[in-house]
Structure 1
Amino acid sequence: MEWNRGFGRVKEERKSLSFFKIFHSADLSSESMRGIPYDFMKNVSKEDFSCKMVIRTKWGRSWEVDISMNPRFYYMEKFGWNQFVTDNALGANEFVTFTHNGLMCFNVNIYKESGKEIVLPHTTTPFSGIKNEEGERSYKDVKKEDESMGGGVGHVEIGESSRGAALRKKKAEKHKKRKKVKYGVPRFKITITKSYLRSLPIPTFFEKRYLKSESKVYKIHHSEGDGSWEVLSLVHQAHIVLSRGWVKLAREYPLAIGDRCTFHLVKPTEFVLTSKKAKAIEITISD
C-alpha cells in the first residue's frame, strides 16, 4: 500500500505542471534519461523557458541545470544533472517527480522502490550545497567532527612547535563550541519524559540560533515517511514550546517515555523526527 501513498502525491501534483522519472540501473546520464517530455515543454511559457532550470529537494538543497535541444526533444545538460543524481545516490529504481513552480524552478519528491518517500538528504551530500527556498545558503558549512581530538585542548604531542600547539588549541576550542549537525542540517536531541508527551520545550541553544521567538506552525515529518503532523509552537516565558498537535504526534508516531528523539531542521518551518526506543532496564534483587 506504500505505492498508493506515493502515487497519491503524484495525483495531487498533476494539478501543477509536472513530470516523473524512474531511476533504474541503466545509464542515468544518457540523453534520453535527461530528456524532458514534449507534452510538458509545449506548456511552458517562453518567459519561463528563458530561465535556467533549478531542481530543489524537499530538504531545501538545489541544483542548477542548463537546458539544451536536439532535433527531437529538450534535455538537461550533464553537469547539473549528474551532480543531482550523484548527491542523492539515485539508481535503485527510485520514483522521482518534478513539479514546476514557474520560471523553470522544480520541486522534486523522491520515493524508494518500496514506495516510501525520502525526506532526508543522502548522508554523503556535501553540506556546502544546501540552500533554502530562495536559493541562498541557509546554514553554515559544518565539517565532520574530528574524533582524533580525544587528548583535549591542553594535549600537545612531543616535538610539536608552540605555533602548532596554539593552532591545535584554537581548533579544539572551536570544535568544543560547535553544535553537532547531522545529515547537513541543524538538529537537537531530547529524551521523552512524561510531561514531554503533553508538550515539548525546544532547547534554548537551538531556538536562539535557528528559530524566531514567535508562535507559528511547524510541520514535523516521520523519518521513515510514515506521516507528517502540523504542530503549533507557543512562546512561553521566552521559550518556544510545541503545543497543539504535539499530543496527536506523540500518540501516532508513536513516542513513549524514555525514547531518544532527534529533530532535524530541514526547512525554516519543517522538522524530520527520528526516534530510538528506550532500552528495557533489568533489575536484579539479591536475596
Structure 2
Amino acid sequence: MGWNRGFGRVKEERKNLSFFKIFQSADLSSESMRALPYTFMKNVSKEDFSYKMVIRAKWGSSWEVDISMNPRFYYMEKSGWNQFVSDNALGENEFVTFTHKGLMCFDVNIYGLSGKEIAVPRKPQTATPFSKIKKEEDESCHKDVKKEDETGESMRGVEFEERKRKKSKKVEIGESSRGAALKKKKAEKAKPSKKKIKIKRRKVKNGVPEFKITIRNSYLKFLAIPKMFEDVYIPDESRRYMIHHSEGKGSWEVLCLVRNTRTIFSSGWSKLAREFPLSVGDRCTFHLVKPNEFVLTSKKARDEITVID
C-alpha cells in the first residue's frame, strides 16, 4: 500500500512542471547553481510567472526568493537562496526536486545521499558548506582590502594622513587648548556642513540620492565611497548592495565594507568593473534607488569630447 501511495504521488507530480538540483558543497551559491533551467522557464506561462518565487517544504517551512534575469537565463537571488540552503544544511550531495504548483510557488522534496527522503527539518549545523564558503570569501576580501590600504592609492589616504597630523598638533597645544578645540569640534558636528546640506537638497530636487566618481586604475579593484555621501546615506555596518546596469545589461551583488578609515565597495566590485565594463577615465554616477540598491550609469571619457562646427 505504501508503495502504491508513493507511486500515485509521483504520477500526479509528473503533470506539473518541475526540475531538480544536486547540492555539492563546492558550488552552493554559484550562478549556475542558482539558475532556473531554460527548458523549465520556457514552459512557464505569463500568467504564472512572477519575479518572486516561494519554496515550500513538506513540514510547513517556506522561503521567499527573488528572481532576476541576465542576458542568458533567469536565476534566483543569493539572499533568499542562501537562506534556503543554510536552513536545510544542504551540501552533502542531496538530490532536491522543485515542483511548480502555479504562480511561482514550488513544493520541494529533499533526498539524502542514501536515497531516503528527508521529511522533517534538519537541525542547523554549526558550519554549513555555504557558511564556510562565505567565511573564506570574507576573509579573502579583508586581506585584499588591507593590502589596498597599504598601497595608499585610496583617494582618502591623503585626507586621513592630514587628519592624523592635525590630531597630533592638538595634543601638543596643552590641556586647556585641547578642551576648547573639542568644544568647537562638537559644535561643528551638531551643525550640518554645507556639503551635507547640498546633498540633502539634491535629493529633494532630483528625487534620488547620487554620487559621482571618475574611475582611476585602483578603482577597478575596490571603490572608495565619498565621505560626504557615506555620512548621510550609508549605514554604520557592512552590508551587501545590488548594483544594476542603467541599460538593464546586468546586476551585481557587491559588499559595502564599512571601516574606521573609509567605506568601500569590495567583494564583487572587481567582477562588476570587468563585466560592466568600466575603464580608467570613465565618469560614473551611482543612484541610490532603494535602501540596498544602486543604478550605475557610466560615461566614457571619449564620449565627453564635444565637436564645435
TM-score, with length taken from structure 2: 0.37
The answer to which structure has the higher helix fraction is: 2
Which structure would you say has the larger Rg?
A: 2
